[in-house]
Structure 1
Amino acid sequence: MTEPRTSFSPADMDRDAFYRLLNAVVVPRPIAWVVTRSAEGVHNLAPHSYYTVACVEPPIVQFTSVGRKDSLTNVEATGDFTVNLAPESMFEQVNATGTDFPPDQSEAEHTGVRLEPSETVAAMRVAQSPVSLECTLHSTLRLGDSTVVLGQVRHVAVHTTAVRDGRPRIEHLRPLARLGGSEWSTIGEVRELRRITHETWTADPSIGRQLRGE
């Protein structure tokens, strides 16, 4: 039996209502806790939940500034930034750095988040974050009321205690993610499942039958 659906159309909804709808269905969203510095040297710290990897070679990550936020203004002025993983242990601080403080004030100072010098860029990184990506501005892309910021990763700094067998481990990173409205999530149950190769699929017809419920 087919499940009934409720339809939503951006043509029939105002911008804010459809924005809330997108946030509720594109979930969970990883959080880029972005540190930038203004032309006057003030360090801004803000969470951006429109964030992902854009390219592997060269390594590029992207976050989206919905509207013109201080992060965007600062990156355009100074050309670098850091993306810091938002850990579960700093839930309240991550949320508080989304407060609309004036551009000449540092969210890190207001919220007690300690910053430390980066290795390769002038923008600082979050000392308590288990992972920091140091980036230089690659380019920006304006899309309607938003701007995609693409940064080339120049250095990755990971807490040594979070590394096992040569890579950071999720049980030590404990990242936060955004959901709809004021909802957040943690990683919850972690499942491991290897990708099925076509060779394996062909050799074992029972795989397809099980997935089809036959």
Structure 2
Amino acid sequence: MTTEHNRLNGNMYDILKTLGAATVYEAQGATGAIDAGIKPIARGMKIAGPALTVEMRPGDNLMIHYALLQAKKGDVLVINCQGFIEAGVWGDVLTSQAQFIGLAGLVVNGAVRDSDAIIDAGFPVFSRGISIKGTGKHQPGKVNETVVIGDCIIHPGDIIVGDSDGLVVIDKHSVSDVIELAKTREEKETHYKEKINHGATTAELMGLNPVFKYLNLE
């Protein structure tokens, strides 16, 4: 992979973070939202990057250590441990490893611990919960295979975008198209806000008056 290609990808991820998860979700037809129960552990955290997926058993984080041996700079580690939140599968030591590698962030359908240290380190983590309990390191799992979180299917290499609103996944083959659609939506909303500042109403801009009439809300 060339340096130029890496730079262009980096620009693409910066654009996605600026556009935001909600705009991306709407732009791709209101699809790809990852379970709303998984949120950043601190406001202001943002991620965008290709998914390195991990499927593992609840209460055991052996496969995370194995996955980090394969991780590359810019990856978003996506861990599915079935929503189990009674054990923190990720902490400050793994955060140090992730930052040394250059990971873009972590998404875990489960829990983390050492949350203050993670926040202080500035590493973006999206988690279902936080738990003081630790894990074992004995059980097998899968790395870089398709995972399902809620009703969302995430393939290795699909693009994850996250911010304070939540998380969305973009099919890796559709990223350029989604970015253009998201930019168009962003421009439309900017236009709406300009119109509102000159006296227009949201009902007018969104064509809602016929709906009000149909529902006898006039």
- Structure with the bigger percentage of strand: 1
What is the TM-score normalised by the length of structure 1? 0.32
Q: Bigger relative contact order, structure 1 or 2, given CA contacts below 8 A and separation 6+?
A: 2
